[in-house]
Structure 1
Amino acid sequence: MLAPVPRPTDPFAARCSRALLSPWSRLALLALVLLTAATLVVLYEPQRLLASGWPQTGGAGAVMLFGLAYGLCTAAFVPRPVLNLAAGALFGSAYGLTAAVAGTVLGAGISFTLGRTLGQDALRPLLKGRWLLAADGQLSRHGFRSMLAIRLFPGVPFAAANYCAAVSRMGYVPFLLATAIGTVPNTAAYVVAGAQAGEPGSPAFLISAGFIVLSGLGAAVVAWRKRHALRRPSAPAPVPVPAPVPLPASQGAR
């Protein structure tokens, strides 16, 4: 029995397939997905539904459903402080913190997957500046430690950190674990403030509000100092002085 003769591939179809799967095509798809998500958030404002229109029913199912909605909204650039306040107002401190942290990790994982799958191959060749290479090296070699510091520092935008980590060579596990641990303090402050919003004079509300204010001021001070440090002109590199060429023995004796 004769073996089937392989059919020749269509060159045009092969070129179209390579073009659709190219790094720049995937990056364009990522930009389209993010632009669509941001547009839907602006038009429909899902944070209002989570803050006021959410059914106030107890139970683990409601907490899990809120965490799922929180993650999707976070991946679509809904501000996390609004969602954290809503989690505390709807479910209290303990359950609200659980839903908020779970939603934070879910949203970060969605953004990380999108950036790693659709944007890494196109953006990595563009990492040529000194600061970009230094940041990429830090995230790639010390993923957990670097991401933990970023999450503890409230001045770094959440979405920017997600996509920067995705472009680097950081692994999933260090990224998600550092996100789950590092976002707890700031998230807890907002959740407790939302849970105690009806009693603004309570110690819990005052402590959480004070933590939010102090952390925001600290982030502003650090950002201001870093900005001025970057503006300072760097010292010129020393010009190497060539070593003297030794003379031959016959010339030195003259």
Structure 2
Amino acid sequence: MLAPAPRPPGSLAFRCSRALLAPRARLSVLALLLLTAAALVLLYEPQRLLSSGWPAQTSGAGAVLLFGLAYGVCTAAFVPRPVLNLAAGALFGSAAGLTAAVAGTVLGAGIAFTLGRFLGQDALRPLLRGRWLTAADGQLSRHGFRSMLAIRLFPGVPFAAANYCAAVSRMGYAPFLLATALGTVPNTAAYVVAGAQAGSPGSPAFLFSAGFIVLSGLAAAVVAWRKRHGLRAPDPTVENAPDSTPEPEPVGRP
């Protein structure tokens, strides 16, 4: 029996498959996934399940692993990380809670990075024409690890925004995930310890972690304000530059 002849490149099936794999079609799929995830978070509030509705029969390393997996999925779906970090500390204590939170953070960042890389990069890279966007893309592409490490250490940068910006750049998986794992430890640890010590708010551990959270938030606000003020301020070199218009030569008397 003869095999069916391959469909010509101009066939309807070929054109449909090519249209579905086009960069804008994949970007539309990414936007639909993100909108669906955000709607599910608003509708079901999965952070409440992780904080108060966690099954009592789950314990030990299996529970920590399960929580880390749920943490990663929820983080990729825009559930706020501070709420999840507090829940990790309240459920598992400082050490195990920090392990679950950091593992879930890396997992959620990897999910978002993968979605952004395969569904949005080809469509968004041609749009990087502005000066600031081009500079950010070059910084992340050439100095991926140290740039992402600085972003993770700075608490004012939204977690999801950093994931998708890195996905659009040419940063590799290894520096992105390693910088995420190292850079999120200080802020994550502060929230986890606060959640673990929530029952004794007068303890030194709780006071230290709460103070770290407040100071880091104030520092982020000050830096963001200075950056915004610096962008609005006029350039003094332009204001003080001498006028390049030549003065008219005096007309001599006859």
Give the TM-score normalised by the residue count of structure 1: 0.90
Q: State the 1:92 CA deviation.
A: 0.1
Identify the residue that residue 248 of structure 1 maps to in structure 2: none
Identify the residue that residue 44 of structure 1 maps to in structure 2: 44
Q: Which runs of 5 or more structure 2 residues have no equivalent in the other structure?
A: 245-254
Letter in 1 for 2:194: A
Identify the residue that residue 26 of structure 2 maps to in structure 1: 26
1:67-126 residue CA offsets vs partner (Å, 9 max, x unmatched): 000000000000000000000000000000000000000000000000000000000000
Q: Give SS of 1:53's match.
A: coil
Identity of aligned residues (%): 84
Counterparts of 1:38 and 1:86 in 2: how far apart (Å)? Answer: 20
Identify the residue that residue 161 of structure 2 maps to in structure 1: 160
Say whether 1:8 aligns with 2:28. Answer: no
1:7-43 residue CA offsets vs partner (Å, 9 max, x unmatched): 5344322222211110000000000000001101111
Q: State the 1:55 CA deviation.
A: 2.0
Counterparts of 1:76 and 1:4 in 2: how far apart (Å)? Answer: 44
Give the TM-score normalised by the residue count of structure 2: 0.90
Identify the residue that residue 228 of structure 1 maps to in structure 2: 229
Counterparts of 1:161 and 1:86 in 2: how far apart (Å)? Answer: 23
1:162-205 residue CA offsets vs partner (Å, 9 max, x unmatched): 00000000000000000000000000000000000000000000
Letter in 1 for 2:149: L
Counterparts of 2:201 and 2:101 in 1: how far apart (Å)? Answer: 21
Letter in 1 for 2:54: W
Identify the residue that residue 123 of structure 1 maps to in structure 2: 124
Letter in 2 for 1:209: A
Corresponding residue pairs, total: 239
Letter in 2 for 1:11: S
Letter in 2 for 1:167: V
The range that moved more, 5-14 or 186-195, is 5-14
Letter in 2 for 1:103: G
Q: Which runs of 5 or more structure 1 residues have no equivalent in the other structure?
A: 242-254
1:138-175 residue CA offsets vs partner (Å, 9 max, x unmatched): 00000000000000000000000000000000000000
